[in-house]
């Protein structure tokens, strides 16, 4: 830590000198303005960015014929979530055809990413989405609505033996992933750009809270997809209506727990969060009974029923995690007041 003494100037102003290395690195000249931002914890942030414009970061990646396709895609997703505003993909010669395929796949998956420049050996992708136009709370709300509908449709597919609906549920998991990546991206942007944080009215702590919750919701979506996959495997099996009814009942109650957890999240209600954790405990007992009943069937049926039961239980478990995050966040905020 660089310690500097506060001095008095003119009898009414307090001044402190700026570190020379920082001034040079920030390319600040004499008489240039700097921004002063008072943080919630009492610290003072000094920034050369007085316009409030989003910080521009460029990620560059060289590809060749030997580049692993999957690794390349994962790196692009990582750069997107990390908050790079532009991506430059290039090759010494002509860009491999697989690279163009991966780039198209990525721009279709990631929200706000568009190719703005393309030559034989270079592609530039730019973020065209204004982060402040996509509030984190709206994205979280949309994610929760999607995953609830996914679970409901997965159970409807089981009841009606609808393979097409099962496949539709599985495909919707991509929509949840895209929104989760967007939350992760915006959280990183907020953590690294205090001006954006102020513009969006979201603190760094809030950004982390939203990201942790979106990660949990994304996992709830994964289990809806897993249920749908197990339903597909049961399509040629005869499942007693009583078992299907029991699965529907347990799933419905588990989704009620999830809905209650999301209500606690949006309302910052720690009382409801605590009660939801208590209410979720009985889901495990119902799932155990469901698993025991499945043992009366042939192995191929029992395995898939148990898998469905486990995914239903995980929804309640993840709902508990959301509620615990709510309690942690609200108690943390109250302690700062």
Token pair 């065209």 is found at: 128
Q: Enter the DSSP assignment of 298.
A: -
What CATH class is the domain 133-336?
mainly alpha
Shared fold status for 7-47 and 133-336:
no
CATH number for the domain whose boundaries are 58-131: 3.30.110.20
Q: Which run of H or E residues covers position 38?
A: strand 35-38
Q: Which of 53-57, 122-126, 198-202, 234-238 has the lowest mean pLDDT?
A: 53-57
Sequence-ordered list of residues with C-beta below 8 angstroms from that of 304, at least 6 positions apart, any chain: 230, 231, 233, 234, 237
Measured CA to CA, the distance from residue 121 to residue 63 in angstroms comes to 10
DSSP state, residue 306: H
5: Cβ–Cβ under 8 A, 6 or more apart, which residues? 16
Q: 53-98 pLDDT, tens per residue?
A: 666 789 999 999 999 999 999 999 999 999 999 999 999 989 999 9
Lowest mean pLDDT among 7-11, 198-202, 333-337: 333-337
Task: Give the H/E segment covering residue 218.
Answer: helix 204-233
Q: How many CB atoms lie within 10 A of CB 3?
A: 4
Q: pTM of this prediction?
A: 0.84
β-strand partners of 13: 9
pLDDT, position 53: 63
Query: Could you state, in order of their start, the residue ranges of all structural domains in the chain?
Result: 7-47, 58-131, 133-336
* Assigned CATH topology for domain 7-47: Pemi-like Protein 1; Chain: D (2.10.260)
DSSP, collapsed to helix, strand or coil, labels residue 234 as coil
Closest Cα partner for 186 from 80, 107, 322? 80
pLDDT digits (tens, 9 = 90+) for 9-37: 777 788 888 888 888 888 888 888 887 77
């Amino acid at each position: 830590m660089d310690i500097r003494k506060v001095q008095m100037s003119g009898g009414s102003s307090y001044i402190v000198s700026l570190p020379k290395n920082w001034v040079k690195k920030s390319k600040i000249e004499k008489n240039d303005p700097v921004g002063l931002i008072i943080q919630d914890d009492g610290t003072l942030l000094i920034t050369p960015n007085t316009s409030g414009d989003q910080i521009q970061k460029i990620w560059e990646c060289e590809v060749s014929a030997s580049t692993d396709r999957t690794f390349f895609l994962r790196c692009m997703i990582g750069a997107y979530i990390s908050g790079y505003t532009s991506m430059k993909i290039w090759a010494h010669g002509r860009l491999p055809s697989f690279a163009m395929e991966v780039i198209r796949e990525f721009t279709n998956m990631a929200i706000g990413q568009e190719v703005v420049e393309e030559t034989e050996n270079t592609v530039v992708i730019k973020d065209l989405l204004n982060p402040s136009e996509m509030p984190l709370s709206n994205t979280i709300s949309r994610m929760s609505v999607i995953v609830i509908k996914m679970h409901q449709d997965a159970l409807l597919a089981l009841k009606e033996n609808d393979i097409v609906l099962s496949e539709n549920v599985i495909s919707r998991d991509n929509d949840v992933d895209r929104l989760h990546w967007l939350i992760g991206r915006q959280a990183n942007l907020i953590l690294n750009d205090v001006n954006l944080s102020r513009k969006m009215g979201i603190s760094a702590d809030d950004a982390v809270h939203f990201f942790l919750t979106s990660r949990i919701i994304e996992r709830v979506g994964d289990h809806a997809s897993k249920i749908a996959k197990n339903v597909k495997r049961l399509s040629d099996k005869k499942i007693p209506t009583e078992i299907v009814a029991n699965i529907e009942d347990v799933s419905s109650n588990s989704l009620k727990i999830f809905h209650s957890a999301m209500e606690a999240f949006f309302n910052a209600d720690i009382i409801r969060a605590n009660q939801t954790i208590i209410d979720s405990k009985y889901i495990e007992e119902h799932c155990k009974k469901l698993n025991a009943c499945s043992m009366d069937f042939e192995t191929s049926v029992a395995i898939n029923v148990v898998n469905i039961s486990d995914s239903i239980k995980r929804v309640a478990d993840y709902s508990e995690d959301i509620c615990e995050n709510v309690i942690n966040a609200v108690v943390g905020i109250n302690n700062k007041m």
